[in-house]
Amino acid sequence: MTPLIQVQNMSKTYASEGVETKALSRADFQVEKGEFLSIMGPSGSGKSTLMQILGFLDHPTGGQYLFEGRDIADFSADELASTRNKKIGFVFQSFNLLPRTSVFENVELPLLYDQQPDGKNYDKVMAALRSVGMEHREKYLSNQLSGGEKQRVAIARALVNDPELIFADEPTGNLDSHSGLTVMKILQGLNNSGHTVILVTHETYTAEHAKRIIYIKDGQIVADDPVKNRRIAEGETELLK
Amino acid sequence: MTRSKIVASRRARRNCSNNFLMHILSPIKISYRYLMAAKFRSFLTILGIIIGVASVIIIMAMGRSAQALILDQVTGIGSNLLGVLPGASDEKSPPPAAMGIAVTTLKYGDLQALRNGRNVPEVIDAAGYVIGTATAVYNGTSLSASFEGTTASYINVENAAVATGRFFTKDEEMDMSRVAVLGENEAKDLFLGASPLGKVIKIKEENFTVIGVLKKRGSSGFGVTSQDDAIFVPLRTAQKILLGIDHLGFIRLKVSDAKFVPQAKAEVATTLREQHHITDPTNDDFSVRDMASAIEIITQITDVLRYFLLVIGAISLLVGGVGIMNIMLLAVSQRIREVGLRKAVGARDADVQVQFLIESVFISGLGGIIGILIGIAFSFLVATIMQYLQYTWPFIISWQSVAAATAVSVGIGIVFGIYPARKAAEISPMEALRYE
């Protein structure tokens, strides 16, 4: 079976004002369907660059990135947009909900850009909200929510198109530990139900909720190990009580 | 209905709303929220559009009403009237008589020739005139009055009406009867409220019997003397007894329909050249004028004014458009993260561009609607005031002006929205990931 993601000798160089900065060099790894992977490294290590490329937001300047066996260099701009829409869900550190907009409309947003609408937006949005326990906040405006609630709505938005792959970029970074645990619990639940999850973080504690960790430093992958003592958010929530 | 049924029907309704509708509605909702969040700033933004659109509506409405007012005054005298003046003059300059030069080329025979249906078939009636001033005396009251010697056909040609008594007849005109018909103001001034009928007045020491008073007409628009201030006597009586001349001051012709005026003008000229044995039209010793040329001049003047005001309207629309471009550029720079997010969840460049275009069209369209309402209200106010002042000033709002104003405001939204929308579409989806 073709791996979901194949990265081959991939690098990324930024050129600004004549100065070249190597953000990523010679990365080589694969991600299978159903994995829960953490990309870990200090800030400025290139982990965000890696995620942006993996998430179709940026292009590598060298090497290859194959998604479901297809080189993304062959994707047109509209194809990239529609792949982001259908196959990828993003969860951001700063939530990125639309202000003055209801929870329902925020979650519905990706469906509005679906080029083959099926007329089931309401059911899909409500199902996504239910899976993060936010269905009772359907009509609230995004700015009326707490940070933890906002991130749960953002996860619902990432889920609404039932994507293959969910990227979570420091999803607990702006949350208190209790809300952070809730988010990790949801992400683990999503992985258990078959979604591939890629988590970007600089915290070992958060990274250890994944099944595998790629360590990155100065644009180089320095280690790629399975997690030996995986943390299960479900149990930790129990401990907090 | 049970609760579950209500929920089910609501779901059905929600599911019906297709994505196309949401693509239109969602940008409108967003820009409405942004407008409402900063009401005063939004008002300033669309003020230019409001002023521009309102002025277009007002100009179109008032221009038409003003023209209607002037045309009403002109047609009150008759747009189907032709005037024949002695002496050559071109259309645009005043006749020689106005310079105090007496030209004696127009004769009674010319009037008869013009009345002849074989020469000018479109002319249904004609009247000849001589005018002068004299002192009129009745019972010790004397006043300086202008008199008009005219033919019995005056009543018909000028659409005049008699208030009391009668106008003089063709017979009285031919046998030089000493009868007089008074304009209303003249009758009032001379008889101080008493009935003038059958009374004898003195004009230039000659006795005239008053046989009628004309109905008040008001301003005659283009007449030198108002009909209300004149004394009317038979043409030949005025020529022989009061003035001692045998030429005519001018002739007025009534054409069966205004649309035959140009044709009749040409035939009048031909007839008079024959009468006066003129072969070369540059030697004409008469001139023919019609109300149509007067109407044309007035229309030209009001049109120039209208276009001038339209240019001002267009300039304020342009300024309004720049205002919209400004606010849209501001919106784009304030919403970089939002655009990045939309792209991250699957918006194509075209989707972003369309969204911002719809927003700018919504803003300018909103300004347009407010402008149209203000324009209509203002025009209505002016019409009400003018009508209260007894002017013929109809309240005219043409659907064309409303359609044009709507199209212009939508067009401005598109034209001035394209650049900001392109800017928005250029935003990278990575912007959504940048931390604050």
Residues of chain B with Cβ-Cβ distance to A44 below 8 Å are none
Q: What is the pLDDT of residues A12-55, one digit of tens each?
A: 998 878 888 888 999 999 999 999 999 999 988 888 889 989 99
Residue of B nearest to A79 (CA): B348
Q: What is the set of domains in chain A, with CATH numbers?
A: 33-57+77-240 (3.40.50.300)
pLDDT at A17: 80
Mark yes or no for CB contact B15/A78 under 8 Å.
no
Q: How far is B350 from chain A (nearest CA, A)?
A: 9
Q: How far is B47 from chain A (nearest CA, A)?
A: 25
Mark yes or no for CB contact A85/B346 under 8 Å.
yes
Residues of chain B with Cβ-Cβ distance to A58 below 8 Å are 430
Judge whether residue B12 has pLDDT over 50.
Answer: no
Rounded mean pLDDT, B83-98? 68
pTM over 0.95: no
A87 interfaces chain B, CB cutoff of 8 Å: no
Q: How far is A109 from chain B (nearest CA, A)?
A: 8
Query: Nearest-5° angle of CA B215, CA B132, CA B285?
Result: 110
Q: Which residue has the tokens 């005056």?
A: B154
Q: Which ranges in B335-348 belong to alpha helices (H)?
A: 336-344
Q: How far is B343 from chain A (nearest CA, A)?
A: 7
Interacting residues of B11 by C-beta distance below 8 A, sequence separation 6+: A122, A123
Say how many CA atoms lie within 13 Å of A72 toward its Cβ: 30
Judge whether residue A9 has pLDDT over 80.
Answer: yes
The rounded distance, in Å, linking the Cα atoms of B199 and B136 is 13
Residue pairs between chains A and B whose CB atoms are closer than 8 Å: 88
Q: What is the pLDDT of residues B163-201, one digit of tens each?
A: 899 999 999 988 899 999 998 888 888 888 888 999 999
Partner residue opposite A84 with nearest CB, options B18, B33, B346: B346
Partner residue opposite B344 with nearest CB, options A90, A101, A117: A90
Q: How far is A4 from chain B (nearest CA, A)?
A: 19
Q: pLDDT exceeding 90 applies to what percent of chain B? A: 24
Distances (CA, A) of B99 to B71, B290, B303, B333: 28, 20, 30, 72
Mark yes or no for CB contact B347/A82 under 8 Å.
no
Residue of B nearest to A91 (CA): B433
Residues of chain B with Cβ-Cβ distance to A111 below 8 Å are 19
Please list the helix, strand and coil fractions of chain A in percent, rounded to the nearest 5, in that order. 35, 30, 35
The rounded distance, in Å, linking the Cα atoms of B179 and B232 is 9
pLDDT at B433: 66
A110 interfaces chain B, CB cutoff of 8 Å: yes
- DSSP per-residue string spanning B302-329: HHHHHHHHHHHHHHHHHHHHHHHHHHHH
Higher pLDDT: B289 or A141? It is A141
The rounded distance, in Å, linking the Cα atoms of B328 and B331 is 5
Judge whether residue B120 has pLDDT over 90.
Answer: no
Q: What is the pLDDT of residues A212-233, one digit of tens each?
A: 999 999 999 999 999 998 998 8
Rounded to a whole number of angstroms, the CA Rg of chain A reads 18
Residue of A nearest to B427 (CA): A57
